[in-house]
Structure 1
Amino acid sequence: MPHTLPTQTDVLVVGAGPAGSGAAAWAARHGLETLLVDAAVFPRDKTCGDGLTPRAIHELQALGLTDWVKGHTVNHGLRAHGFGQTLELNWPDVKGSDLSTWGSAVARTELDDHLRRTAVTSGATAVDGARAVDVVRDGGRVAAVVFEVAGPRGKERVVVRCRWLVVADGVRSPLGKLLGREWHRDTVYGVAGRSYVKSDRSDDPWISSHLELRDEDGKALAGYGWVFPLGTGEVNLGAGALATAKRPADIAVKPLMRHYAGQLREEFELRGDLRAEASALLPMGGAVSNVAGANWALVGDAAGCVNPLNGEGIDYGLETGRVVAELLAAHGADDGYSLATAWPALLRESYGESFSIARRLAGIATVPKVITALGPIGMRSDFLMTLALRWMGNLVTDEDRDRAARVWRWAGRQSIARDARPPFS
């Protein structure tokens, strides 16, 4: 139920997905007065594959949610299908890494609602049903955000003053656009659809990805399909394609998803029709500019923090939400502190090299002929696919020192040095 909006707060977080709720939970735990606001009324749905990689699990564990997540499905890794092959690839167990070796999948209707409640139990105030429609500026700072809410005589506007603003309003980021955020489509982006369908394999301990995706005419597409068991009697089934401004995705996502489901109906014991079909465009790999100002910062999907190789964004959302809260806890009392340069620099340091090489590789994958030529070679090698799973799954941490991590970081350095527009610039 919507609540009355306070008229001022120390930290204002707009958007209560994983990035926003994570930021609000951590800011409140650091002792900052925190207000979390979302335009929707919770619980609400969100177009997503619902998968939780070990990196996302790591962030949920830090929030104290291990037992809650384990009350849902737990998976061992990825079952990769394609080019006449099927490989079962365990989540990597890297010596010295603090990432978990298991994953999960929780519908966003439930996950986001629980994360929002976690922010509240951490000390944040949460208000839903309030849409951010404007900002009030004071020089180079945002002094307040204007919200539109339902009142007794129709829509009303309420002004909420803040010292710090965290923008976590998703891939479209309407508030980010008001602040000058721009999405650049010259690098790779995603076009994806997801649905839910009943399945007798809803408890399968593997998430499945089909790396060879073809349309009804048998034409190879620059994309992939997935089946993520939810342990609820249903699976999340979806299909996505990669595109750039030069090579746009010329597909109808929902018909493709239904065709894909038809191909898998017997193997995955699917029953009935697809439900809750939805699609979305995904800015990827930090392909946005103007991600911060003096006292505001974009996090998660709003900042383009989506993995170009697998469409994953929940882990980055939780991470960036936590890190921005840590910055505000450390420097928020200093009126001279500015996020304008600190935040994009931190994003580039954390994700720039990996995003650069990932979107370069994903850009190559927008050419179907490349997929059909290289796909069979990769699928014949457990070693290559294990490396691909680790790189695609964002499972290389700063602490990793093994050969796979060193190669990935080296490739990232070479790639970003050649970018016409590096991530977050």
Structure 2
Amino acid sequence: MTTDPQTDVVRTDVLVVGAGPGGSSAAIHLARLGRDVLLVDGAEFPRDKACGDGLTPRAVAELQTLKLDHILEGGPVNKGLRGHGFGRSLMLPWNGPHLPKHGSAIARTVLDNALRDAALDAGATGLDGHKAVDVELTGGRLTTVLLRGRDGTVRVEAEHVIVADGGKSHLGRLLGRAWHKETVFGVASRAYATSPMADDPWITSHLELRDESGRMMGGYGWVFPLGNGLVNVGAGTLATSKRPANINLRKLTEEYARQRRDEWQLGELTGYGSAPLPMGGAVSNVAGRNWMLIGDAAACINPLNGEGIDYALETGRLAAEHIVESGARPDFTASWPAELYAEYGEAFSIARRLGILITHERLLAMSGPIGMRIPAIMAVAFRVMGNLVTPEDSDVVARAWRTAGRASLRLDRRRPFH
């Protein structure tokens, strides 16, 4: 990175906007390859982010690829899901054939800070407390990003720009990103509470989520043990533009915690946070000639469980590889959406379709009890909902999931990332 002493202009090879898991992953990979990287975030670190804090085996595998799984040392190791609903309970171990057999949970204040530190250790330059507020484009290329901090503004000129600023993605909107809410999206809220069961080796989910009036919601509630005497407790629900959630998220989380209080001996709730969740690639304009969206900004969130950390880490790696393989003067306008589509299109399409079904409360009330009575069905559901089908898998479940995805794509009016 170079600075022009006569102006407030900073020049860099790659500007990464957003230092969450996706942005930090991209910065780590690129910096390790010797690229000049400026990693920017609008908040000052360490900072929090509203999240369930859970890490699937797929996220653990990506941390292993980064050689950063030591971040999880001393934290909880979970074996899988303890699922409740419709009068039944099931223990569902993590079951991805080519993935680790354990997951974890770590507060985002810890995870994001550790990943950002790793990016700086790899050679990236960090600049926090600066939000991207404007852009300049020349001939279709993003030539300048204007950052605003407490002490003024900074103009950044970069050859490549990776947009990783979250689900709302202010920079993405400036570049023309559009979020299509006719397909399924999520809204979720979380809080923290003390619990003597904070070292429980299973994450817990209640698939029969009901609000204070007893109305069934199309989503789920969770309790994720974090160790150190704390659990993350929250609730999320699915919606579409035709069937909005119409729910007070904080009240829903409080009601769910009340229902779980005796079982988990929960203390008072603290640290409320909530977030909208663009899901299943339901955004368009995810790339331009020299810029690309990744992670939550690209709606890379699982429509069936609200998980986004694994996709963020993966798309950060894929973006870094894409830049390296594209040469000196690339054009990402078509190539990056095509790569995201090839990587996630099938799974996102069928998951979106299933997610829309979940928003039908009557259908959920009829199908839920049937599924919970048949553990084999729930094991398959857990695998696909947990993003545990990988390209290496060739078993019956994996083949059926891909076949369903291809069929679903043929029915889509709007394909993922288009």
Could you tell me which amino acid in structure 2 is paired with residue 13 of structure 1? V
d(CA) in 1 for partners of 2:337, 2:147: 26
CA distance in 2, matches of 1:166, 1:68: 24
Separation in 2, partners of 1:13, 1:310: 27
Q: Following the alignment from structure 1 to structure 2, what is the Cα–Cα distance between the partners of residues 330 and 93? A: 30
| Contact 2:41–2:130 under 8 Å retained in 1 | yes
Distance 2:278 2:310 in 1: 15
Q: Which amino acid aligns with 1:132?
A: A
Equivalent residue, structure 1, for 2:21: 18
Q: CA separation of 1:93/1:245 partners in 2, compared to 1, >3 Å: closer, same or farther?
A: closer
Kept after mapping to 2: 8 A contact 1:32/1:329: no
| 1:296 counterpart residue number | 291
- SS across alignment from 2:14: strand
Amino acid corresponding to residue 275 of structure 2 in structure 1: A
Q: Kindly state the Cα deviation for residue 399 of structure 1 after the two structures are TM-superposed.
A: 1.0
Question: How far apart are the structure 1 equivalents of 2:11 and 2:130?
Answer: 15
1:12–1:35 Cα contact (<8 Å) kept: yes
Normalization by structure 1: what TM-score? 0.96
Give the equivalent residue in structure 2 for 1:67: 70
Select the residue among 254, 276, 280 that pairs with 1:281.
276
Cα separation, partners in 2 of 1:279 and 1:294, compared to 1, 3 Å? same
Render the CA deviation track for 1:218-264: whole Å, top value 9, x for unaligned. Answer: 12111110000001211000001100011000111111111111110
What is the distance in 2 between the residues matched to 1:63 and 1:344? 24
- Alpha-carbon distance, 1:376 to partner: 0.6
Aligned equivalent of 2:91: 88
Letter in 1 for 2:373: R
Distance 2:188 2:122 in 1: 34
**Alpha-carbon deviations, 1:88-136, whole Å to 9, x = none?**
1100152xx2x11100000001100000001111111111011111112
Retained in 1: the 8 A contact 2:295–2:312?
yes
> What is the SS of the residue equivalent to 1:395?
coil
Matched, 1:209 2:202: no
Contact 2:371/2:377, CA 8 A, preserved across alignment: yes
Partner residue in 1 for 2:61: 58
Deviation at 1:216, TM superposition (A): 1.6
The aligned residue for residue 140 of structure 2 is 140
Aligned partner of residue 146 in structure 1, secondary structure: strand
CA contact (8 A) 2:71 2:114 kept: no
Q: CA deviation at 1:67?
A: 2.5
SS of residue paired to 2:411: coil
Matched residue SS, 1:86:
strand
Match of residue 227 from structure 2: 231
Determine if the alignment matches structure 1 residue 165 to structure 2 residue 165: no
Alignment partners' CA distance in 2, 1:207 and 1:185: 30
What is the percent sequence identity of the aligned residues? 56
Residue 395 of structure 1 aligns to which amino acid in structure 2? L
Verify the 8 A CA contact 2:197 2:225 in the aligned structure 1.
Answer: yes
Preserved CA contact (<8 Å) 2:159 2:290: yes
- Is 1:246 matched up with 2:246? no
Shift of 1:71: 2.2
Equivalence for 2:254: 258
Q: Name the amino acid aligned to 2:141.
A: R
> Matched residue of 2:34: which SS?
coil
Residue among 410, 413, 416 paired with 1:420 = 413
Equivalence for 1:403: 396
Matched, 1:32 2:35: yes
Cα distance in 2 for partners of 1:206, 1:194 equals 18
2: CA distance between counterparts of 1:250 and 1:68? 38
1:68 deviation in Å?
Answer: 2.4
The answer to whether structure 1 residue 267 and structure 2 residue 263 are counterparts is: yes
Q: Does 1:197 align with 2:232?
A: no
Give the AA of the match of 1:266: D
Q: Which residue, out of 182, 189, 193, partners 1:186?
A: 182
Unpaired segments of 5 or more residues in structure 2?
A: none
Corresponding residue number in structure 1 for 2:370:
377
Asked if structure 1 preserves the Cα contact closer than 8 Å seen for 2:71 and 2:111, the reply is no
> Displacement, 1:6?
7.0
Partner SS state of residue 73, structure 1: coil
Residues 57, 94 of structure 2: 8 Å contact kept: yes
Q: Which residue identity lines up with residue 339 of structure 1 in the other structure?
A: F
Equivalent of residue 47 in structure 2, options 44, 48, 67: 44
Q: Which residue of 1 aligns with 2:170?
A: 174
Distance 1:104 1:178 in 2: 35
In the TM superposition, residue 268 of structure 1 has moved relative to its aligned partner by 1.2
SS at match of 1:92: coil
Partners of 2:96 and 2:380 lie apart in 1 by 12
Residue 351 (1) aligns with residue 347 (2): no
Q: Distance in 1 between matches of 2:155 and 2:211?
A: 50
- CA distance in structure 2 between the aligned counterparts of 1:178 and 1:29, rounded to whole angstroms: 30
- Give the SS at the match of 1:267: helix
Partner of 2:324: 329
| In 1, Cα distance between equivalents of 2:167 and 2:326 | 28
CA distance in 2, matches of 1:204, 1:188: 32
Aligned-partner Cα distance in 2 for 1:108–1:185 = 27
Q: Which runs of 5+ in 1 are unaligned?
A: none
TM-score, length basis structure 2:
0.97
3-state SS of 1:420 partner: coil
